[in-house]
Amino acid sequence: METVDRILSESPSIEELEDILHGGQLSCNHVDEVWPNLFLGDMYMSHDRYGLWRLGITHVLNAAHGKMCCKGSDDFYGTTVKYYGVPANDLPTFDISSFFYPSAHYIHDALSTTGAKVFVHCAVGVSRSAALVLAYLMIYCNYSLVDAILKVKERRWIFPNRGFLKQLMTLDNEFSYKLQSK
């Protein structure tokens, strides 16, 4: 716990973030509620329209839009679910940061609607989709990266790839800089 306390007061290294990611919740289901009315899951759940209906899902954010295993669309979910697709590759070299703000805005707008529930997914629900959920918590809920990771890990095992972690670290540093310059 001493390491986490120290990391909370400083900018963490990639290795320290990975140590935090390795701890805590070590499993995940096809879908887990990681924030009120915000669900994180995998492609299996994304294909289960009945399961999504039972959860009351009104919005889907597919972080692997157009990929072989995660071909989603408005047509698939029908008129009762709003769909947003992010064509991200789960590669450390992929620039997912360009989707941080649009995805966070989509989640925020949805959760601002009474009764809305958002399901964010990719193939496995631990890297691409997790990175976008972490960015949402940082952008709209004022969490630091470490706090966002710890919050999500209370409910689900996540492990964004190193490239995504570095991009989230950059976002975290931008927010830290803004706070320090006030």
CATH number of the domain residue 175 falls in: 3.90.190.10
Which residue has 């947003």 as its token pair? 84
Taking residues 53-71, report their average pLDDT.
Answer: 85
- Residues of the chain with pLDDT > 90, as a percent, come to 75
Look at residues 176, 164, 123, 177 and name the one whose alpha carbon lies nearest to residue 18: 164
pLDDT of residue 23: 81
Is position 14 within any domain? Answer: no
Q: Does residue 26 lie in a domain region? A: no
Report the pLDDT value the prediction gives residue 129, as an integer from 0 to 100: 98
How far apart (Å, rounded) are the C-alpha atoms in residues 140 and 120? 16
Q: Cα 80 to chain center, whole Å?
A: 23
Q: Give me the pLDDT at residue 28, please.
A: 81
Backbone angles phi, psi at 163, to 5 degrees: -65, -45
Residue 6 reports pLDDT greater than 50: no
Residue 70 is a catalytic residue: no
Catalytic residue, candidates 28, 70, 122, 141: 122
Residue 58 lies in a domain: yes
Given a cut of 50, whether residue 7 has pLDDT beyond it is: no
The answer to whether position 2 is within a domain reads no
Number of domains comprising the chain: 1
* pLDDT tens track for 23-46: 876 778 999 999 999 999 999 999
Q: Is the pLDDT of residue 2 over 80?
A: no
Whole-Å CA distances, 134 to 13, 38, 53, 87, 99: 17, 11, 25, 18, 12
The confidence score (pLDDT) of residue 1 equals 46
- Among residues 177, 36, 50, the alpha carbon closest in space to that of 118 is found at 36
> Does residue 172 belong to any structural domain of this protein?
yes
Per-residue confidence band for 78, with pLDDT thresholds at 50, 70 and 90: confident
Instruction: Please report whether residue 175 resides in a domain.
Output: yes
pLDDT surpassing 60 at residue 4? no
Q: What is the pTM of this model?
A: 0.90
- At 146 the pLDDT is 97
* Kind and range of the H or E run holding 141: helix 128-141
Domain that holds residue 54: 32-180
pLDDT digits over 146-174, tens only? Answer: 999 999 999 999 999 999 999 999 999 99
Q: Is residue 112 included in any domain, yes or no?
A: yes
Residue 3 maps to a domain: no
